[in-house]
Amino acid sequence: MEDPKEENQKDDLYEHFSFTVDKGQNPLRIDKFLMHRIENISRNKIQQAAKNNSIYVGDETVKSNYRVKPYDKIQILFTYPPYENLLLPEELPIDIVYEDEAVLVVNKTPNVVVHPGHGNYSKTLLNGLLYHFQKQELSEQYAPNLVHRIDKDTSGLLVVAKTEQAAYHLSSQFFHKKCERIYYALVWGDVKEEEGTIDKNIGRNPKNRLQMTVLSEEGKGKRAITHYKVLERFHYVTLISCKLETGRTHQIRTHLKYIGHPIFNDKRYGGDSILKGTMFNKYKQYVENCFTILPRQALHAKTLGFVHPTTKKEVHFDSELPTDMKNVIEKWRRYTQHNTKSND
């Protein structure tokens, strides 16, 4: 059987290097450009990275003969984390809602990366946890083991194993779909059904490797199942809950885009485009104000349940929506009520 921990991680891509080209740069093949920018790397290795679709300019992959231009944003991504053995403890604020000798549960704030990657090699949750262990003089006995992850701009609950035994036990639960994970999401559009299930395979988008996508071809990607339920309607956006049966990379974001309801202000999956055709006055300005209040995708990991690896008892945790999501939901609630009354 495939290792469950590997199953959860193997789809991730990590940024190893990134550059913004100087304004005075003359046209130059990207393989030559990178050879001068990256220490101890061969041209052959750069060309192999390009062949593997691991070099990006903006959101598009490029080949080794691409000629760089001023202000190009270049990234080199690989499937394994960089500098993993060089992680250093850092004193960072962490909201630990539960901790014992086997596990700890964190309520992650938005804009915090869980694990180094995508250009974030410090100030990650893992750096903070290493400091937490060191401060409590636990670092010789325990080490933080990430058995699942939450995107940088997604907030909410995350369980971390403190021992290898706990890590395997929890990873097995995730792999066998025995953990309870419920997210709240504010999505574009008036979701038609009160509840439903999206059962569609997900894989890396061949046109944009930073995205996942639903794959219609049989046998491609990995099966992903999301159960959703409408919680509150605001005419042009809807608050829903999403219960995960599987845990694929960007699963909720990909599935909701597929059914035509991308998550509000999800820049990677089109949720930062303003929905047209509204009855509201000054609608564009209103939505842009909402984006300012909530400068990220409106997604929160609200509920987490699992069997404790030591006590073997079921434990459940619930978290409040963060302030930015609560404020935007309340803003939609008031604005919708006001405009509904105005049209009565």
φ and ψ of 103, to 5 deg: -140, 160
d(CA 312, CA 304): 16
Decide: 297 and 253 in contact? Cβ < 8 Å. yes
Question: Which of these, 262, 241, 106, lies nearest to 185 by C-alpha position?
Answer: 241
What is the residue type of 105? V
Q: Please count the other Cβ atoms lying within 10 Å of the Cβ belonging to residue 234.
A: 18
**248: DSSP letter:** -
Cβ partners under 8 Å of residue 219, min gap 6: none
Catalytic residue status for 151: yes
Please return the burial class of 44, using the count of CB atoms within 10 Å of its CB with bins 0-12, 13-18 and 19+: exposed
d(CA 66, CA 151): 31
Place of tokens 């893992």: 126
Integer Rg of the chain from CA: 22
Residue 83 token pair: 């500098």
Beta pairing class for 225-233 and 237-244:
antiparallel
d(CA 302, CA 323): 13
Residue 275 token pair: 């929905």
Q: Which of 31, 72, 151, 266 is catalytic?
A: 151
Alpha carbons within 13 angstroms on the beta-carbon side of residue 119 total 8
Active-site residues: which are they?
Answer: 151
